[in-house]
Structures are given as C-alpha cells and as structure tokens.
Amino acid sequence: MQKLSTSQQMGRILTARRKAVGLTQAHVAAQLGISQNRLSEIENQPGYLTLDRLLALAGILGLELTIQARENVVPTESEW
C-alpha cells in the first residue's frame, strides 16, 4: 500500500502501473474514451483528475483505492 501526500505521486503511480502491466497510453485512453494526449496530461498533471475518472483508470489498471483514517489524528473543523 502506498500513502499519498501529493497529486504528483498519484500520477507516478498510475504511470508506473500502466507500464508494469504492459499497457500503452493509447490502449488505456481508448478504454476510458479519451485521447492519448489527454491521458498523458492526466499522468503528468493528475491534480485535475476527477474522482470518477480516477476510479475508472484504477479499474483498468487493476488497482483499488482505499481511504482510511490516519492513526492518532483527529480532524479539526478546519480540515473538513
């Protein structure tokens, strides 16, 4: 499991996974219904990735997303 603290980390994870499973940007983009150019943008600037698109991309790459509470951290009102 990998912990994320920046959107750039997500881009690197998605790119590495795509390459590890032997898929091209063109193949993944076609499955998402977007251009290869747009997938390249997503991998390089994932900060603008929608949750729906992230979930679809994760599914194509055989990944699952998990959100869990941090240990010993109570969120303050300003974090919500």
The percent of residues above 70 in pLDDT, for the chain, comes to 90
Structure tokens at 59: 């599914």
**Cα 29-58-34 angle, rounded to 5 deg:** 20
Given a cut of 90, whether residue 78 has pLDDT beyond it is no
From 52, 49, 32, 33, select the one nearest 41 (Cα to Cα): 49
> Is residue 2 very low, low, confident or very high in pLDDT (cuts 50, 70, 90)?
confident
Residue with tokens 């790459």: 61
- pLDDT at position 4 is 86
- pLDDT at position 46 is 94
Given a cut of 90, whether residue 69 has pLDDT beyond it is no
